[in-house]
């Protein structure tokens, strides 16, 4: 059997898509904004979807005679054991539509209004909006910039946790900086969480996308004490480019966490998932690893291309080492573009990347650029950025 | 253009389905249990699903540049205006996965633990389980049997409402009795709800399936005062046989109801829906009416077949007049089958209909039989029932 390739969809097809990626900016801009990719669906995943459609198997979904959500939970559990040697209990899995739903629900279940919720900065915006929408107080924990690299600041984490933080939202691999935290870093964070009795909500949605053979370490896999305070959130929708299917899971690392959650949310309140999303995710998790290998290879090549061309043609742009994800965190500060990096990219370069201010008010000199696309489209974006920087410099 | 036909899927394909309908009972039984049908997907709906799959349009879904849920809300609003002259505000629509999610959420938003929630009996079981799961008290309001027909009992409704009921779950067309309540009946109920300040949650999921040219009247369409206390729940999944897609809507008949709901549930807590479900539902609601005409015709024929054959071959089985839905509410009391009608049908006739006790403890002599299938399968079920009754009578 030949190994699967991870193909990018043709640009003319992508331009017909009705998704955020291809419609959030005007058509004269190249999309690099929302955290999605241009990858074609992995064949094993597409087959699962096509089977449902071909058979019109659209009744109330069971799998192996049980509610389909249980099959999703079992697939998650199998995969965690296979990839990480982590025995994640399928009975402790709650399917949800997406990670924002999961984050919102965990905040409500494990904290009270007025409590403090922390996350690293820069941060995925919904962590902050979910905290505000539920009437909690957001405590920013800035990652420490060491040159272009971002590192944990454990002293500052200690100060934050000791100030009364009840819940900490970890994002690993980290969006938007592309850091993949090491086992030692995670262990140190968990020890602090234990010391101050902080619940960890661990967004690991980019865990399949660690590059250069790095290791992803699920926080809950660090040991029973780590698991006992950790809710893990993940989904196949980033790795396999399936956000339209709205399918994710939450895993509760202890009976006590699960019971607390269930006390807050009666059965069925959080909804159920489509059979499409469930079947696609199970296929991805059970049979998608060879495709993921090919996708990671492609991502590494695109990351290198972006790095090498910027280093050669726009050396003043700061380039945060990308250890994982399909997103680059670029620092345009040495160019000091007026109005911030986002406005510069969108208005002058016609590249639809998000300005860093979306990820925190201190980051307007940065931009997050999604590179999960073809070499042709990536090159076109780089061409535009380099040309705009040169126009600016004149 | 030839009018579409409403086709039933071939039995050999149905037997491969992994849904509740075809797997909840053993393969030697004919399925008539869960409230779904054997209908092939309406061509306009299938096209919408196939387009997504063909184009691999699986990114974060927008429609017309706005979140896809808004397009679903707009389609609901358009349809209510077209079918009923009801100007349902799209901005007052909240998409949910299914009606049980909606019922659970409305109970939590509009009542407090310990409060009373009422519904007609016999009743769809999840109304009672959702009430119990949220710590509310269920107040049964038995429909009054007038021969084989079920009618509203307004005196008893007055007693229930005056006893402190805060929320009333209406189901119209009524599952399991197949009643389609008249405008006058609904008006009387609404007046009682006004008198005792009861919120109405109106499950209208079978509203497309009113037979013999009857009129469906959305409660919220009765007028501004009715709307102001009504949350309407509906979905295309019953009419178009799409439960696997998990797509439904809640409509709040007043700003005050919507605000109360939003105070209880922050954005994103209740999840988001798959693009498949949204596109399929929009296609069904915008373009599915000709197919529905054909489906209603088929349902009427199956209803008549069931009625005529039972009247001729099993005249002691009571037959509740079926004004809507694809379900018959049959009374086997004159046969007094041991263990109830459900056990009799399942064990002796090998027909997988639900015993009436699922719909309330007083109804074990009844069974609910789903007839949304082919004449061949329906005839086979009737053959089995008639033969089992004859064996029993010997």
A23-67 pLDDT tens trace: 999 999 999 999 999 999 999 999 999 999 999 999 999 999 999
- Tell me the pLDDT band of A69, cut-offs 50, 70 and 90: very high
Q: What is the mean pLDDT of residues A268-290?
A: 98
Which pLDDT score is estimated for A4? 75
Match 């094993």 to its residue by tokens. A44
Distance of CA A100 to the CA centre of its chain: 11
Residue B3 has pLDDT above 80, yes or no: no
**CA dist., res. B295 & res. B301, Å (int):** 10
User: What is the nearest CA distance from B303 to chain A, expressed in angstroms?
Assistant: 21
Of A388, A366, A369, give the one whose Cα is nearest residue A377. A369
- Do the chains contact at A60 and B36, CB–CB below 8 Å? yes
Enumerate the residues of chain A whose CB falls inside 8 A of the CB of residue B52. Answer: 244
Q: Could you say which architecture CATH assigns to the domain B47-287?
A: 3-Layer(aba) Sandwich (3.40)
A315-348 pLDDT tens trace: 999 999 999 999 999 999 998 777 899 999 999 9
**Token couple for A213:** 């053979």
Chain B touched by A343 (CB under 8 Å): no
Enumerate the residues of chain A whose CB falls inside 8 A of the CB of residue B49. Answer: 53
Q: Evaluate the CA torsion angle A321, A358, A344, A33 in order and state its sign.
A: positive
Structural contact between residues A242 and B61, judged by C-beta atoms closer than 8 angstroms: no
Q: What is the mean pLDDT of residues A170-180?
A: 98
| Residues 6 or more apart in contact with residue A328 via CB below 8 angstroms | A178, A303, A306, A319, A320, A322, A368, A369, A371
- At CA B310, angle to CA B305 and CA B311, rounded to 5? 100
**Token couple for B101:** 């999610």
**CA dist., res. B269 & res. A135, Å (int):** 14
3-state SS, residue A291: helix
Structural contact between residues A144 and A125, judged by C-beta atoms closer than 8 angstroms: no
Of B211, B387, B385, give the one whose Cα is nearest residue B306. B385
Enumerate the residues of chain B whose CB falls inside 8 A of the CB of residue A63. Answer: 18
B154-197 pLDDT tens trace: 999 999 999 999 999 999 999 999 999 999 999 999 999 999 99
Residue A254 has pLDDT above 60, yes or no: yes
- Residue among A55, A98, A268 minimizing CB distance to B100: A268
**Token couple for B141:** 């309001």
- Residue among A97, A129, A269 minimizing CB distance to B272: A97
Q: Cβ-count burial of A8 within 10 angstroms (0-12 exposed, 13-18 middle, 19+ buried)?
A: buried
**CA dist., res. A211 & res. A237, Å (int):** 18
**CA dist., res. A229 & res. B394, Å (int):** 65
**CA dist., res. A373 & res. A207, Å (int):** 19
The domain locations on chain A are 11-41+289-393, 47-287
Of B187, B191, B250, give the one whose Cα is nearest residue B221. B187
Cα nearest neighbour of A264 on chain B = B134
B107-125 pLDDT tens trace: 999 999 999 999 999 999 9
**CA dist., res. A166 & res. A108, Å (int):** 11
Residue B359 has pLDDT above 70, yes or no: yes
Of A328, A320, A326, give the one whose Cα is nearest residue A295. A326
- Residue among B62, B129, B246 minimizing CB distance to A274: B246
Which pLDDT score is estimated for A392? 86
Residue A170 has pLDDT above 70, yes or no: yes
Chain B residues 5-64 with a CB less than 8 Å from chain A: 9, 13, 16-24, 34, 36, 40-41, 46, 49-50, 52-53, 55-63
Which residues in B285-318 are b (16+ Cβ under 10 Å) and which e? Answer: bebbebbbebbbebbeebbeebeebbeeebeebb
CB atoms within 10 A of CB A188: 16
Average pLDDT, chain A: 97
Of B157, B117, B160, give the one whose Cα is nearest residue B137. B117
- Tell me the pLDDT band of B369, cut-offs 50, 70 and 90: very high
A192-226 pLDDT tens trace: 999 999 999 999 999 999 999 999 999 999 999 99
B13-35 pLDDT tens trace: 999 999 999 999 999 999 999 99
Which pLDDT score is estimated for A2? 65
Structural contact between residues B371 and B351, judged by C-beta atoms closer than 8 angstroms: no
Picking from A8, A18, A109, A242 by the largest number of B CB atoms within 10 A of its own CB, the best residue to mutate is A18
**CA dist., res. B201 & res. B199, Å (int):** 7
Helix (H) or strand (E) holding A170: strand A165-171
Cα nearest neighbour of A38 on chain B = B59
What values do phi and psi take at B191, rounded to 5? -65, -40
Which pLDDT score is estimated for B393? 82
**Token couple for A329:** 């965190």
Of A58, A54, A160, A80, give the one whose Cα is nearest residue A116. A160
Residues paired with A354 in a beta bridge = A368
The residue count of chain B comes to 394
**Token couple for A373:** 């696309």
Structural contact between residues A62 and B23, judged by C-beta atoms closer than 8 angstroms: yes
Q: What is the mean pLDDT of residues B239-255?
A: 98
Cα nearest neighbour of A20 on chain B = B60
User: What is the nearest CA distance from A99 to chain B, expressed in angstroms?
Assistant: 9
Residue B69 has pLDDT above 60, yes or no: yes
Alpha-carbon distances of B171 from A99, A126, A373, B257, rounded to whole Å: 33, 37, 49, 19
A307-320 pLDDT tens trace: 999 999 999 999 99
Complex ipTM more than 0.90, yes or no: yes
- Tell me the pLDDT band of B252, cut-offs 50, 70 and 90: very high
**CA dist., res. B121 & res. B124, Å (int):** 8
Residue B1 has pLDDT above 90, yes or no: no
Structural contact between residues A206 and A323, judged by C-beta atoms closer than 8 angstroms: no
- Do the chains contact at B244 and A96, CB–CB below 8 Å? no
- Do the chains contact at B271 and A130, CB–CB below 8 Å? no
CATH 1.10.150.120 fits B11-38+289-393, yes or no: no
Enumerate the residues of chain B whose CB falls inside 8 A of the CB of residue A95. Answer: none
- Residue among A49, A58, A245 minimizing CB distance to B242: A58
What values do phi and psi take at B181, rounded to 5? -70, 145
User: For the residues of A245-271, what is the DSSP string, one character each?
Assistant: G--EEEEESSHHHHHHHHHHS-TTTT-
**CA dist., res. A216 & res. A219, Å (int):** 9
Q: What is the mean pLDDT of residues A111-135?
A: 98
- Do the chains contact at A105 and B269, CB–CB below 8 Å? yes
Residues paired with A120 in a beta bridge = A141
Residue A370 has pLDDT above 60, yes or no: yes
Alpha-carbon distances of A250 from A20, A229, A245, A261, rounded to whole Å: 25, 13, 16, 11
**Token couple for A331:** 């620092």
**CA dist., res. A102 & res. A257, Å (int):** 14
User: For the residues of B349-362, what is the DSSP string, one character each?
Assistant: I-EEEEEGGGG-GG
Chain B residues 205-224 with a CB less than 8 Å from chain A: none
**CA dist., res. B297 & res. B5, Å (int):** 10
**CA dist., res. B332 & res. B344, Å (int):** 9
Alpha helices in A224-374, H assignment, sequence order = 224-227, 255-264, 275-287, 289-313, 340-343
Q: Could you say which architecture CATH assigns to the domain A11-41+289-393?
A: Alpha-Beta Complex (3.90)
Chain A residues 245-284 with a CB less than 8 Å from chain B: 245-247, 266-277
3-state SS, residue A191: helix
- Do the chains contact at A58 and B20, CB–CB below 8 Å? no
Residue A355 has pLDDT above 80, yes or no: yes
């Amino acid at each position: 059997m030949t190994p699967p390739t991870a193909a990018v969809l043709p640009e003319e097809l992508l331009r017909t898509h009705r998704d955020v990626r291809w419609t959030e900016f005007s058509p004269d801009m190249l999309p690099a904004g929302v955290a999605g990719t241009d990858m074609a669906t992995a064949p094993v995943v597409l087959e699962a979807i096509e089977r449902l459609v071909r058979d019109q198997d659209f009744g109330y979904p069971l799998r192996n005679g049980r509610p389909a959500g249980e099959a999703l939970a079992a697939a998650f559990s199998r995969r965690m054991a296979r990839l990480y040697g982590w025995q994640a209990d399928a009975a402790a899995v709650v399917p949800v539509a997406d990670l924002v739903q999961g984050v919102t629900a965990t905040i409500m279940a494990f904290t009270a209004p007025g409590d403090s919720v922390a996350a690293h900065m820069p941060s995925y915006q919904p962590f902050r909006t979910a905290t505000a929408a539920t009437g909690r107080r957001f405590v920013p924990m800035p990652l420490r910039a060491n040159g272009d690299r971002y590192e944990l600041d454990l002293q500052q984490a200690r100060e934050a946790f000791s100030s009364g933080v009840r819940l900490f939202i970890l994002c690993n691999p980290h969006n938007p900086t592309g850091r993949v935290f090491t086992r030692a870093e995670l262990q140190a964070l968990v020890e602090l969480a234990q010391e101050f009795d902080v619940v960890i909500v661990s967004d690991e949605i980019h865990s399949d996308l660690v590059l250069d053979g790095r290791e992803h370490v699920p926080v809950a896999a660090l040991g029973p004490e780590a698991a006992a305070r950790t809710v893990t959130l993940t989904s196949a929708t980033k790795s396999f480019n399936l956000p339209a299917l709205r399918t994710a899971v939450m895993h509760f690392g202890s009976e006590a966490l699960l019971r607390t959650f269930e006390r807050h949310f009666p059965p069925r309140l959080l909804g159920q998932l489509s059979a499409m999303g469930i079947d696609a995710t199970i296929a991805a998790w059970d049979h998608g690893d060879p495709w993921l290998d090919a996708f990671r290879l492609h991502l590494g090549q695109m990351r290198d291309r972006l790095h090498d061309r910027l280093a050669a043609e726009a050396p003043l742009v700061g380039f945060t080492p990308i250890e994982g994800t399909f997103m680059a965190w670029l620092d345009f500060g040495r160019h000091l573009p007026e109005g911030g990096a986002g406005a510069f990219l969108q208005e002058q370069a016609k590249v639809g990347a998000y300005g860093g201010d979306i990820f925190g008010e201190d980051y307007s000199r940065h931009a997050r650029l999604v590179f999960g696309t073809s070499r042709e489209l990536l090159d076109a974006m780089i061409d535009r950025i380099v040309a705009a920087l040169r126009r600016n410099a004149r």
